[in-house]
Amino acid sequence: MRSRSVIYLALAAGVFMLSASGVFAKVARAPAGIIAFYRLFFATLALLPWLLSHKNDRRELRSLSPIQYAEGALAGFFLAVHYVMWFESLRYTSVASSTVLAALQPLFSVIWGRLFLGERLGAHALTGGAIAIAGSALWGDLLALVSGGVISLYFFCGQILRRRMGAVPYSVLSYGSSAAVLALYALFMGYPFAGYAPGTWGAFLGLALVS
């Protein structure tokens, strides 16, 4: 009974912290690409000490084939696109609406699972999914919805790679490559990496370390 209580408490804490993403992103006074970059950059830095201090995690990362590294980089690319679209959607719609629509990624996972893994869902699940996404026609809501579709591709890549590696090595690989993609995107767009208010830096850290 105690272990089940701990599980539910951890689940509730995880949902609470993840749901704070939209709030932190809304508070941050910076372009969506910069917000996304610092979220992934700081998260990668936070995970590096764990990776470097655990021999098995380092061994897993070193043992990956070039194709597996490419798969991890592809996952990072999808993650970068997701965050840019989601954080951009917060300029046009509410935190609640954006977060709910972006969290509909399991519905898109149904499509990828069916196409690439042959997974099937019953009629009730498919009908519920169709109802859940109906009515999202506004631009901000549409951005958030599409970002949910993109993040499902990230999870699809993770489903494949996580069969062969632990959570920390995979996170460092995907987060790090995502941060690299976002850095290039920010440079291309001419976004500044510095000069933001303390509250915005606090939001960056909140996204990386809390959410």
- Mean pLDDT of the region 16-29: 89
Q: How wide is the angle at C-alpha 154 spanned by C-alphas 42 and 141, nearest 5°?
A: 90
CA distance 80 to 76: 6
- Mean pLDDT of the region 204-208: 96
Q: What is the predicted pLDDT for the residue at 103?
A: 62
pTM above 0.75, yes or no: yes
Q: How wide is the angle at C-alpha 82 spanned by C-alphas 35 and 158, nearest 5°?
A: 115
CA distance 15 to 210: 11
With contact defined as beta carbons under 8 Å apart, do 53 and 65 qualify? no
Comparing 132 with 171, which gets the higher pLDDT?
171
